[in-house]
Structure 1
Amino acid sequence: MRSGPSDQHGVSILSVFDDRSVRGVSQVTDGLADGDLTRTSVVVDHDEIGQMATSLNRGITRLRDDVVGLARNATGLRGAADQLNAVAGGVETAARDASSRAGTVAATADTVSSSLHVVSAGAEEMGSSIHEISRSTSEAAQVAAQAVHVAAQTNETVSRLGASSTEIATVVKVITQIAEQTNLLALNATIEAARAGESGKGFAVVASEVKDLAQETAKATEDIVHRVEAIQSDTSRAVEAIGEISGIIERINSIQLTIASSVEEQTATTQEMTRTLNTAAQGAGDIAVTITGVSDATRRTTDSIAETTKAAQLLAATSTELQTLVSRFRY
């Protein structure tokens, strides 16, 4: 028996209890003070000491289970903190890369938008030039049509000139015939004057003058014939030349009409291209604005990830402290 406190009669209080039960409880409480949760009391009797040992065993068992769960949770918490830290680091890196790329894309979109505006302005200028070309081509087509009309009128005038030359030639032939007959009559008059002798001398002089006049008329008529023939030849060549000119002008007119049609189509295409470029420029500008917003959001995400990383690091430190505390127990 262990000695213990005495009551007023001088008898030890613990003397009535089994010494083994007391020692078992004492060993468990000593181990508990040192953080040893592996010890349990051996219950010998079901007296007060036995009941206390049983309650102590239940308490140590619950405490050991709690410490085991706490240690398991601390380990899992540390692993989750490490994983969260790693994921946050990867997300932060990806967010920074995305922010950098978004900035690059935004700058590129701005450049594309500016280039499209420049191209659109150039297309508008080209459209204005094409419109001016179309207007000039239309005027040229009108001039060509007028030239064709004038050439046709000139051709008619020259044709009438040719007809008049033909009529002149006919008149000249009549005059030539009259001159020949006059010359023949003068010759006959000269013969008759010679037969008349002295009385026919005056008549012979007149006949001679008529003969000379008839010869001069014949020469003049012949000269007129040559000139009329030359006029007819020139008129024929002029008619042919005017015909060729008319054909050329008609071909020019046809080509100008084709050009005018092509220019109109090109004008429509240029206008459509200008509208498309303006729309594309507006779209590129919208993309730049959107990408800028994405870049800002990414930067904010990066800041949030940085805060998350700090929280993960703090959580890891807390789990380390918890593991340190749990390591003080044996269980």
Structure 2
Amino acid sequence: MSAESVDRDSHGDDTVEISPSFSPEEWWWYFSGTASRQFKRLFPDVIQRTLNRELWIYSTIAIAVPVSAAIYDGSWLTVGAIFGATFLFGGMIYGESYVIIKTLQEAVETVGRGQYRFRIPEQRADELGDVYRGFEQTAATLDERIEEAEEAKEQAQREQERAEEARAEAEAAKQEAEAVADQLRTRAQEYSRVMDEVADGDLTRRLDTDTDNEAMADIAAAFNEMLDSLSGTVAEASEFADTVASVSEDAAASGQEIRRASDEVSGSMEEIASGAEDQREQVAEASERMNDLSATIEEIASSATEVADTAADAADTGEEARDASERAGEEIASIRENAASAATEVETLDQRIEQIDEIVDLIDGIAEQTNTLALNASIEAARAGEAGEGFAVVADEVKDLAEETQEATDEVESVIAEMREQAAAATDEMDDMEDSVESGADTIEDAMGKLESVVATIEDVNAGVQEIDDATDRQASTTQEVVAMIDSVAAISDETADEAQSVSASAEEQTAATREVTETIQQLSTEADQLSTLLDEMQVSTGGSGATIAATLED
């Protein structure tokens, strides 16, 4: 249908030269148009004036007048010549227009085939030349717009690929964050449950250290070490309280025996004093009683020696108890350090959560930028008109993808907020545990103070018992002297009566001293009972080899 020749312009673009083809019946018009162009090249001014519309009308009138005159005169040859010239002149004008129309038709068909770069060889200076150049410029502009649309489409495809990558990264980050959040949430709930049971008094509970999170594993290990130390301290304190109570009971029993013996001595000496006047008649009976008294004094001396040994042991035990209390205080200090370390680990966990939050903010910023790029792409597609409709669909998909990414980041931020709340709850529980440790430390310090008082009392008891032992020894010696003097009691009855009064007074003093010792031992027993009651609030039981310790702390 048409012949097209392709050449290269100065910019290297493919340009089609428009060259219309004609059928045999159209060659007359092509020949006329060619002749008209040649005339135009030779006589541009004449042709330009002739082609003027007004001049054409006037020329037609001018031709019609001589034709009419020739017909009237009967000169048909002249009429034929005029009509021939007119036909030739009209053919040249119409032929050129026909060639122009064919050229424009070929240019339109070229554009319809998708070739927007073409060149019309005909160079005209009239309105038709302007039409040629305008059509070429319009086609070139359309080609540029299509190229821009293609570039925008490629840019949109690249943006879509980047958005797909961003969505994949966001999805992976979301899944990773959800996995970490689920693991931390489960582990935090388990730790919270175990800590609640420990706070209720079950010291056999332990935190599971088998976790992928290093911070949580360190918290569990530190917490378990603290519980082991606390359980050992409670067990030692309970054993020490039992020992003090046992020693106090033994000392109280010995004091009762001493008191009874002293009462017996006092009664015997009162009988001696009351029977001094009858001593002469009852010398034999007095001798027998003095022998009995000597035996009793020996028993008292032996008992006093045993009490002295027991009091000395109690004093040694008190020193050991004091050392154990100091160790308990050191253990409490270690527990405080472990609690502080656990609180530091929880703070480290909160910092890790902040880092995850920063990553989510970065993803959210990428999604916002992607949304902005999609909006710009939609604007460019709208400018491209119908040629950018496909690109607009891609831009809308990119925008939807960016919105989905933002929704995913919002969900991740919600999960991080829950993690932060759980971390804060864990911190509060650690603070509560630290308060419990402080309360336990105060209780131990109170027990240590009372234990110091008990130790001081035991030392006083030991000193009193030693005095009783010395007094009993002296009493035994005096009794031996009395037995030796019984043989001469008749001669010195008055002296014996005086001596009996003196012995009676000594017996009363001994009874009073024994009563004081007994009261002191009873006070020691009472304080030991108080210490035992205080430690009973920490019920400790050991099973097997003592590897497991269960303790119940009653508030």
TM-score class, shorter: 0.5 to 0.7
Task: Report the equivalent of 1:242.
Answer: 430
| 8 Å Cα contact 1:106/1:288 also seen in 2 | yes
Residues 63-212 of structure 1: matches in 2 within 5 Å?
91-166=279-354, 168-169=356-357, 171-186=359-374, 188-189=376-377, 192-193=380-381, 196=384, 210=398
Letter in 1 for 2:322: S
CA distance in 1, matches of 2:389, 2:488: 143
CA distance in 2, matches of 1:287, 1:110: 9
CA distance in 2, matches of 1:260, 1:304: 60
| 8 Å Cα contact 1:109/1:288 also seen in 2 | yes
Residues 232-311 of structure 1: matches in 2 within 5 Å?
232-299=420-487, 301=489
In structure 2, relative to structure 1, the CA distance for the partners of 1:124 and 1:224 (3 Å cut) is farther
Q: What is the deviation of 1:295?
A: 1.1
CA distance in 2, matches of 1:206, 1:295: 130
Which structure: greater helix fraction? Answer: 1
Letter in 1 for 2:326: S
In structure 2, relative to structure 1, the CA distance for the partners of 1:216 and 1:115 (3 Å cut) is farther
* Segment of structure 1 superposing worse, 206-215 or 246-255: 206-215
| 8 Å Cα contact 1:165/1:231 also seen in 2 | yes
| 8 Å Cα contact 2:279/2:286 also seen in 1 | no
| 8 Å Cα contact 1:113/1:281 also seen in 2 | yes
| 8 Å Cα contact 1:96/1:299 also seen in 2 | no
Task: Report the equivalent of 2:152.
Answer: none
In structure 2, relative to structure 1, the CA distance for the partners of 1:285 and 1:235 (3 Å cut) is same
Q: What is the deviation of 1:266?
A: 1.6
| Per-residue CA distance 1:20-51 (angstroms, 9 max, x = gap) | xxxxxxxxxxxxxxxxxxxxxxxxxxxxxxxx
CA distance in 2, matches of 1:116, 1:132: 24
| Per-residue CA distance 1:265-321 (angstroms, 9 max, x = gap) | 32122122112212212321221122022112214546999xxxxxxxxxxxxxxxx
Unaligned runs of 5+ in 2: 1-276, 494-555
Residues 26-37 of structure 1: matches in 2 within 5 Å?
none
In structure 2, relative to structure 1, the CA distance for the partners of 1:93 and 1:206 (3 Å cut) is farther
- So what's the TM-score if we normalise by structure 2? 0.34
Q: What is the deviation of 1:188?
A: 4.8
Find the residue that maps to 1:143 and give its secondary structure.
Answer: helix
CA distance in 2, matches of 1:250, 1:91: 72
CA distance in 2, matches of 1:294, 1:171: 103
Letter in 1 for 2:330: Q
CA distance in 2, matches of 1:259, 1:304: 60
CA distance in 1, matches of 2:438, 2:388: 73
In structure 2, relative to structure 1, the CA distance for the partners of 1:131 and 1:219 (3 Å cut) is farther
Letter in 1 for 2:467: T
Q: What is the deviation of 1:150?
A: 2.7
In structure 2, relative to structure 1, the CA distance for the partners of 1:193 and 1:129 (3 Å cut) is farther
| 8 Å Cα contact 1:105/1:288 also seen in 2 | no
Percent sequence identity over aligned pairs: 29
Task: Report the equivalent of 2:58.
Answer: none
* Segment of structure 1 superposing worse, 104-113 or 277-286: 104-113
In structure 2, relative to structure 1, the CA distance for the partners of 1:273 and 1:192 (3 Å cut) is same
Find the residue that maps to 1:251 and give its secondary structure.
Answer: helix
| Per-residue CA distance 1:236-288 (angstroms, 9 max, x = gap) | 11221222222222222222222222212321221221122122123212211
In structure 2, relative to structure 1, the CA distance for the partners of 1:205 and 1:97 (3 Å cut) is farther
CA distance in 2, matches of 1:266, 1:136: 14
| 8 Å Cα contact 1:106/1:287 also seen in 2 | no
Structure possessing the higher radius of gyration over alpha carbons:
1
CA distance in 2, matches of 1:234, 1:304: 98
State the Cα RMSD in Å: 3.6
In structure 2, relative to structure 1, the CA distance for the partners of 1:236 and 1:300 (3 Å cut) is same
CA distance in 1, matches of 2:490, 2:456: 50
Residues 33-72 of structure 1: matches in 2 within 5 Å?
none
CA distance in 2, matches of 1:222, 1:120: 81
Which structure: greater strand fraction? Answer: 2
Residues 2-21 of structure 1: matches in 2 within 5 Å?
none
Find the residue that maps to 1:93 and give its secondary structure.
Answer: coil
CA distance in 1, matches of 2:337, 2:455: 30
| 8 Å Cα contact 1:189/1:204 also seen in 2 | yes
Letter in 2 for 1:242: M
CA distance in 2, matches of 1:208, 1:119: 101
| 8 Å Cα contact 1:179/1:214 also seen in 2 | yes
Letter in 2 for 1:139: R
| Per-residue CA distance 1:199-229 (angstroms, 9 max, x = gap) | 7699679757755764564354234313321
Letter in 2 for 1:95: V
CA distance in 2, matches of 1:123, 1:193: 104
Unaligned runs of 5+ in 1: 1-88, 306-331
CA distance in 1, matches of 2:308, 2:415: 68
In structure 2, relative to structure 1, the CA distance for the partners of 1:90 and 1:182 (3 Å cut) is closer
In structure 2, relative to structure 1, the CA distance for the partners of 1:200 and 1:283 (3 Å cut) is same
| 8 Å Cα contact 1:98/1:295 also seen in 2 | no
In structure 2, relative to structure 1, the CA distance for the partners of 1:163 and 1:293 (3 Å cut) is same
CA distance in 2, matches of 1:191, 1:118: 109
